[in-house]
Chains A and B, each alone.
Chain A
C-alpha cells in the first residue's frame, strides 16, 4: 500500500507542475496587457507610465526568468502578490477557499445522500421505478445550472424571502445564517451531481445483483434485505466512489456559475475577476489551488477505493 501511495503522490506532483507551467504560459500570452488595467482611469496612457508599471510588476523581465522565480516562489508557498491590490495571492485565496470547500462538501453530501438511495431503489425495484428514476435524472442533468439558480433565487429569496439571495455570512459569526446562505447554492450545485450518482448507483446495483456471490448469499438463507444491503449495495460502492471522485473534479468548474448567480464568495469568482483584470498571479494561484484540490480529491478516492475493495490494495 505504501509504494502505491508514494507513486500516486509523485504523479500528483508532476501533474501539478504541468498544470502550473501550462497556466503560466497560457495567461502570459493572453492579449490585454495588465499595465493598461492598472493605469486605468481616463487620464490616458503615457508610454512611460505603462512602462513604469510593468517594471514594478516585473513584467519587463524575460518570460523564462519570470517563470523561474515564480516556480521558486510557489515551492516556498508564496504565490506572489496580486497586481491589482498588492495583497499576497495566497492570503486572498485562503480567505475564500473555505467558502468553496464548504459549498462543494455540502453539495457532495447532499448528492450522495439523495443519489445513492434513489439509485439503489431504482436498481432494486427496476420496472417503473427504474424508468421514473432515469427520466427524472435525465431532466436534472438537462436543465442549465444557472436557470435553476435563477429560479431558486426568484422563488426562495425574492418572492418568499425565506433564504438570502446571495453572499455568505461566515460560520463563526452566525452559524444559522451561514447554513441559510449555503443551502440554495449547495442544493443547486448538487442537483446535477445527485443525478449522476443516482444513475451510477443504479447501474452498479443492476450489474452487481447478477453476480454469483449474491446467489451464494441467498443460498445461505439470508433475508432479501440483508443480501441487498451487504452483498449488492456494499459492492456497488466501489464504482460509485470512483464516479464521485471524478465528478467533484468537474464540480470545481461548475461552481463558477453558482458563485456568480448567488454572488457566493468562493475562489472561482476570484479567478474570473483575476482573468478579466489580467491579474496573472491571482489566476495562476487559483488554478494551481484548484488543480491541487482536484489531485487531492482523486488521491482520497483512490485510497477510499483501496479500503472498499481489498483486491485493489495489492496494487
Chain B
C-alpha cells in the first residue's frame, strides 16, 4: 500500500554521519534487548567495599558505582529501561498527538479549537511541574514516567500533524474522496494519514531523544525511575553528585545519553529529509 519509497532520495539524505548514527541506534537497541544475557554481573548486586573502581579494573570493565554495582551491566540494563520508557512515551504521544492533530486539522472550527486549545494547556504547564505532580501522586515507576512524558510530547506531534493535515485537507484527491461518498474514517485513514506520515515518522526518533533527555532531567530532580532499577538518567544524576570522588561514572553515563540522543536526533533529520517531500535538502 505504501508508495514505493524513493530510494534515490534515500542515498542523498543519509550522509556517512547519519549512517553512523543509525548504526549506534541499532547497537543501543541490541544492548537493551540482550542485556540480561550479555551483561557480566547482576546490575543490582552490591559490593560496597569495592565501589568506585576505575575503568578497566579486572572484573569490572567500566568500573563500579557508589554501591559497588558493575557499571557495564547497569549501562546495558539501563539501556533497556530508557528505551522502554522513551518508546512507550513516544507511542503515547504519537497516538494521542496525531489523533488530535488529524481531527483538529481535518474538521476545523470548533473541533480545531477544542484540540488545539488542549494542546496549548499542556504547553502552558511547565513540564517539570506536570512531572512533579504525577510522580508525587503515582510514584515514579516506569509506567508513570511513560504517561507523563507521553503527555508532555503530545503537543509536538499534535501541532505537526495539524499543520500537515491543513496542507493536505484541501488537496483535490481528498475532495474527490468526499465527492465519491468515502466515509470520513476512510478519508482520514487512507487519504490524509499516509500523506502526512512522512514528517511524523521523522518526528518519532526526535521525540525518543527528547524523552531520554527529559528522563535524565527528572532523575536529577529525584523524580526519575525509582532506584535501585538501573537507568541512564539515574546514573548521570548520581555521576554528577559523585563527580569529585569518581568522575568516570558521570563521563560514561553522560556519553551514553548524549550519543544515543544525538543518534536519534540525526536519524530523525535523515528520515525527515528522506520521507517528507517538503523538506528538500539541496546538496
When distances are taken between beta carbons in the complex, the residues of chain B under 8 Å from A135 are 17, 266
Which of A29, A154, A272, A298 counts the most B-chain CB atoms under 10 A from its CB?
A: A272
User: Chain B, interface size: which category?
Assistant: 35 or more
Interface segment out of the listed B38-46, B94-102, B131-139: B131-139
Q: How far apart are A307's CB and chain B's nearest CB, in angstroms?
A: 22
| Partner among A14, A144, A210, A291 whose Cβ is within 8 Å of the Cβ of B216 | A144
Interface string of B109-142 (1 = CB under 8 A from A): 0000000010011011111110011001100000
A268 within 8 A of B: yes
When distances are taken between beta carbons in the complex, the residues of chain B under 8 Å from A200 are none
Q: A19-B124, A272-B221 are in contact. Are A142 and B240 (CB under 8 A)?
A: no
Q: How far apart are B16's CB and chain A's nearest CB, in angstroms?
A: 10
Contact B213–A144 (Cβ < 8 Å): yes
B29 within 8 A of A: no
Contact B126–A252 (Cβ < 8 Å): yes
Q: A27-B133, A31-B137, A142-B209 are in contact. Are A150 and B240 (CB under 8 A)?
A: yes
Q: How far apart are A248's CB and chain B's nearest CB, in angstroms?
A: 11
Interface segment out of the listed A66-74, A167-175, A182-190, A253-261: A253-261
| Partner among A134, A144, A295 whose Cβ is within 8 Å of the Cβ of B254 | A144
When distances are taken between beta carbons in the complex, the residues of chain B under 8 Å from A314 are none
Q: How far apart are A132's CB and chain B's nearest CB, in angstroms?
A: 10
Contact A294–B133 (Cβ < 8 Å): no
Q: How far apart are A154's CB and chain B's nearest CB, in angstroms?
A: 7
Contact A29–B137 (Cβ < 8 Å): yes
Interface string of B250-265 (1 = CB under 8 A from A): 1000100111011001
Which applies to chain A's interface (DSSP): helix, strand, loop or mixed? helix
Q: How far apart are B117's CB and chain A's nearest CB, in angstroms?
A: 7
When distances are taken between beta carbons in the complex, the residues of chain A under 8 Å from B258 are 139, 142-144
| Partner among B121, B127, B240, B283 whose Cβ is within 8 Å of the Cβ of A15 | B121
Contact A32–B265 (Cβ < 8 Å): no
B15 within 8 A of A: yes
Which applies to chain B's interface (DSSP): helix, strand, loop or mixed? helix
Q: How far apart are B279's CB and chain A's nearest CB, in angstroms?
A: 7
A102 within 8 A of B: no
Q: How far apart are B256's CB and chain A's nearest CB, in angstroms?
A: 11
Interface string of A295-311 (1 = CB under 8 A from B): 10010000000000000
- Provide the bound-state CA to CA distance between A126 and B283, in Å: 7
List which B209-231 residues lie within 8 A (CB) of chain A.
209, 213, 216-217, 220-221
| Partner among A14, A31, A126 whose Cβ is within 8 Å of the Cβ of B136 | A31
When distances are taken between beta carbons in the complex, the residues of chain A under 8 Å from B129 are 23, 253, 271, 275, 283, 287, 290
- Provide the bound-state CA to CA distance between A142 and B259, in Å: 7
B93 within 8 A of A: no
Q: How far apart are A290's CB and chain B's nearest CB, in angstroms?
A: 5
When distances are taken between beta carbons in the complex, the residues of chain B under 8 Å from A51 are none
Contact B123–A147 (Cβ < 8 Å): no
Q: A142-B265, A146-B240 are in contact. Are A15 and B117 (CB under 8 A)?
A: yes
- Provide the bound-state CA to CA distance between A249 and B122, in Å: 11
B70 within 8 A of A: no
Which of A23, A126, A141, A295 counts the most B-chain CB atoms under 10 A from its CB?
A: A141
Which of A29, A138, A275 counts the most B-chain CB atoms under 10 A from its CB?
A: A138
Q: A126-B282, A256-B126 are in contact. Are A144 and B217 (CB under 8 A)?
A: yes
- Provide the bound-state CA to CA distance between A84 and B209, in Å: 39
When distances are taken between beta carbons in the complex, the residues of chain B under 8 Å from A210 are 280, 282
B82 within 8 A of A: no
| Partner among B127, B133, B236, B282 whose Cβ is within 8 Å of the Cβ of A26 | B133
- Provide the bound-state CA to CA distance between A203 and B278, in Å: 11
Q: How far apart are B173's CB and chain A's nearest CB, in angstroms?
A: 24
A131 within 8 A of B: yes
Q: Which residue of A lies closest to B281 (CB)?
A: A206
Contact A257–B243 (Cβ < 8 Å): no
When distances are taken between beta carbons in the complex, the residues of chain B under 8 Å from A26 are 133, 137
* Residues of A that sit less than 8 Å from B by CB: 11, 14-16, 18-19, 22-23, 26-27, 29-32, 126-127, 131, 134-135, 138-139, 141-147, 150, 154, 203, 206, 210, 246, 249-250, 252-254, 256-257, 260, 268, 271-272, 275, 283, 287, 290-291, 294-295, 298
- Sample (23) of A-B pairs whose CB atoms are under 8 Å apart: A15-B117, A18-B117, A22-B121, A23-B125, A26-B133, A127-B283, A131-B15, A134-B269, A142-B261, A143-B258, A144-B217, A145-B217, A146-B217, A146-B220, A210-B280, A253-B126, A253-B127, A253-B128, A257-B128, A257-B220, A260-B220, A272-B132, A298-B120
Q: Which 10 A-B pairs have the closest CB atoms?
A: A253-B127, A142-B261, A142-B262, A253-B126, A291-B124, A256-B128, A142-B258, A138-B265, A147-B254, A144-B216
